[in-house]
Every structure is written in C-alpha cells, then in structure tokens.
Chain A
C-alpha cells in the first residue's frame, strides 16, 4: 500500500488499536447476521426477505439501480428507520451475542458555504460532550488529530469544513466514523465528486482498514471497476437480494446485466 505513508503518529494509533484487538478477540471470529429484514414505509414495501451474513475483515458492496432500497437498508442497520427482522452480532468463538457498534459515513452533510464550522468543531460535536462553542479542548484536539492522521488528514483540523475538497471531507468523515472503532462500518455512496486518484486512495484506505482493524465494511457504490477490484462480496439489491457472491460472479451475471445493461 504505497499510497499509505505511515508516519509516527499514525503508527502510534495503529499500534494502540492492535493492542485493543489482541485484548478483545482475533479477526474472523465476529459475524453479523441480518435475518429476514423487511422495511415498509406507508403502503410501500421497500425491502423484503433480505438475509445477509458478514464476517469481519470483509468488504461487502451493495449495488443496485436507483430506488432499489440500498440507502434504506443502510438506514435500517443504523436504526434510523424501523424494520422487521433481526440484526445479530455474534462472537463465534464465545458463541455469544454482542452489542454492535456501527460507524457511518454519510453521502452528504448539511454544511453550506460560509458556515463557520471547522473540522475540529465537526469532529468534536460527534464524539465529545465538551461544548465546542465555549472552548477548544487541548486533549480532545490531540485525540482528533490522531484520528485524522489515520487518513493523513491531521493538517485539516483547523480548516473550515465548507472549504474542504470532496476527497478531504471524505477522509474526515471516515475518521469520525472510526472514532471509536466500530464493528461495522457503513458507507453510503461515499465517493461522489471525487476524481480517479481520490477514489484509488479511498479504496486503498478501506483495504488498509480491513487489515488493521477488527471490523466489517458494508458500502453502497456504483463504481463497478473499483467494486470488482476491492470487494470481497457483492450484493445486487432490487427490493430484495437478486444476486450475491464474489465480485466477478455477480458483475458478470445475467441478473446484473438485467439491471444495468452491458457495462
């Protein structure tokens, strides 16, 4: 991963988290099961019979046409909209159910041009109760800087959020989702408005995350080239799962062609 220049600060963060993993449990022993997920809004059934089984250390990509229920599924998992069915988080070795921590990277944030919110303000609002309007907390500032350094974004901490480029904002949001380190990281089309280099960097960052942390990743994406290259598992969604499997299998399937045409 040449893109990932590891400086000292980042090493420190990575080591800290590696220790955590050793204390907790080794990667591969956690799994997340979603059983018979069904979402209805008003009269419309948006999702039904969705069964997904995910292991930590895997990147699962959800693809599908507009209105297929991709964002709805993500929102059901975060608990934002009500659903029927079960989402279980299990430790296989201990055969025990655990509480699942979910990290979320949104598609957009509501910060319009000229809003006086710095990256520190944004980050601190989500992870701390120390009132950001009153003072800048030294320790919190340091903690945020370390979190940002995971994606080489530590220099952005005092910048105004509305001045960030798409790629910079994405790295900041990813750092927020990873503080504290979740069991499941959800990314809802997180790479709109980023150029090719930015996408390559973004995906290799995700790959790096899989290697260093004990977490599973679910991403909604449209960039089939990158989906093929980086995903472990692909789910084609259209109200329900119409095809799933390894990327090559799904992206070359007749079901895929039915939805997207020849790509």
Chain B
C-alpha cells in the first residue's frame, strides 16, 4: 500500500494527495466507477433501476444484522444479506404471480423497516445517518482490497458472460433455444450487483448509489449506436465524473457521493440535449 501511496504522491502534484484518505478515496473511485459504468448498461437495458435501488436500501438491514450478531467486519454481513436478498427477489420475480414492481417494493420496504428499527433501538439512529449520503473518510485499505478482488471477478464474469446476459435480456425464449442457462446467469448477475453496491455504499451513500449505477449508462445510451460505444462512453463518463467529483468535493467541502451524482447528471442532460439536436 505504501508503495502505491508514494507513487501517487509523485505522480499527482496536488495538495490533497498528501492526505491518505484522499488517496484511498481516489483508488476506490478508480476501481469502482468503471464497474458502475459497465454493469449500468445491462441494468438500464433490463429496466432494473428499481431493483438496484431496493438492493441499496437493503444495506441498512445488513448493517443491523451485523451489529445484532456482533460481527466485527460489517462488510461481511452487508454483502451476505444483500446477496440473499437479491437472489430472493430474483426467485420471486421469476414466479410472475404479482407484478415485479409490487413484489420488489414490498420486500424492500419490509427489509428496510427491519434495518431502521434495529438501528434505532435506544434512539440513536443519528450515528448511522452518514450511511445516507456516504462518508469518503471511511474507506480503509482493506476495503480497497475487497474492491480490487470484486473488480477482477466482475471483469472476468463480464468477459465470459456478457453475450449470454445480453441474449437473455433480448429474449429469454430465444436464449433458451440457444442452450443458455438463464437462471444461473441471471442470479450471478444480481449477486455481482449486490456485492458491488454493498462494498461502495458506505462511502457513496444509500440515497445516491443507484444514481451512479444508472446515470452513466443512461447518458451513454443517448449517444451510443452499438454495444461497444455504449460500454466505452458509459465507463468514460463514470470514471471522469468520479474523479472530478472527488476533487471538487475536496475543494468545496461537500459530500463526495452527491457531488459525483451532480456531474453525471450534467452529462446525462448534455447527451440528452445533444441527441435531440443532432438526430
């Protein structure tokens, strides 16, 4: 870690680089924003915005469970809970007995209420309010390692499975006729989203994490004409907004998550206007 820190201090001639928490934050952003850009394309195509939003809210419950059982690393209980929650939502969604929106809403509300109830025992929920907007100071080198592992797994998964996920998203029956294992891939996809959301939620914030998953892809969708451009623009917008948002939030002393979201949103509006003017 120290080697990376020294390298960053040499390469980046800015005053903020001297703070370790800024270096950690920058590393985390460099790892996580490309993943947001990549996964977002599929989330937007599959109209899963509501799903990922609910997943983010379930973080509260994961934290509550961790505290209840005295688990020292809260990340573990968050990730475990979110994975189970995501798989549960997926299974219920596949049964198609109620409309998907309703089911997700019921489970998300129930789960979030449990989390809020447990965390508010004794009347001191305010100590958790940081979770809502995120706290960039909270990133530890251990969490950066988690992120790095997740990054590598996600990239491998995407290389191996993107075509199949894309096929499933276009038409499940057609994908099935090409011998694609729909349930397995769909489950793996939501598990990966769950892990990534949970590992970034503490410093990005429950209220805005979904924006970072959806907006880069949504902005890219406005200007891309094929899958390659869609990914490329989405990753560029995501990474650029992440870095600029972090630095800006340092200088104007604001929460980093919302600052990043504002920059991505500006990208969305620009590409949206651009599309209307040029097409």
Contacts and interface: CB of A to CB of B under 8 A. Distances in A.
A116 B160 contact: no
B162 A131 contact: yes
Contacts of A80: 172-173, 176
B74 interface: no
A78 interface: yes
Contacts of A132: 162-163, 166, 227-228
Contacts of B160: 129
B148 interface: no
Given A80-B172, A80-B173, A108-B171, A130 B163 contact: yes
Contacts of B178: 126-127
A192 interface: no
A133 B45 contact: no
Nearest to A118: B226
Size band of the interface chain A makes with B:
35 or more
Size band of the interface chain B makes with A:
20 to 34
Nearest to B220: A116
B221 interface: yes
Contacts of A160: 225-226
B227 A121 contact: yes
Contact of B167 (A74, A125, A188): A125
B221 A115 contact: yes
B174 interface: yes
A130 B226 CA distance: 16
Interface stretch (A14-22, A27-35, A98-106, A210-218): A98-106
B163 A125 contact: yes
B174 A133 contact: no
Among A121, A131, A158, residue most surrounded by chain B Cβ atoms (within 10 Å): A131
A103 B221 contact: no
Contact of B177 (A78, A110, A128, A131): A78
Interface in B190-225: 220-222, 224-225
Give 5 closest A-B pairs by Cβ, nearest first.
A104-B177, A116-B224, A125-B166, A118-B226, A116-B230
23 contacts: A75-B173, A78-B173, A102-B177, A104-B174, A110-B169, A116-B221, A116-B227, A116-B229, A117-B226, A118-B226, A121-B166, A121-B227, A125-B164, A126-B175, A128-B163, A132-B166, A133-B158, A133-B227, A134-B228, A134-B231, A136-B228, A173-B174, A177-B174
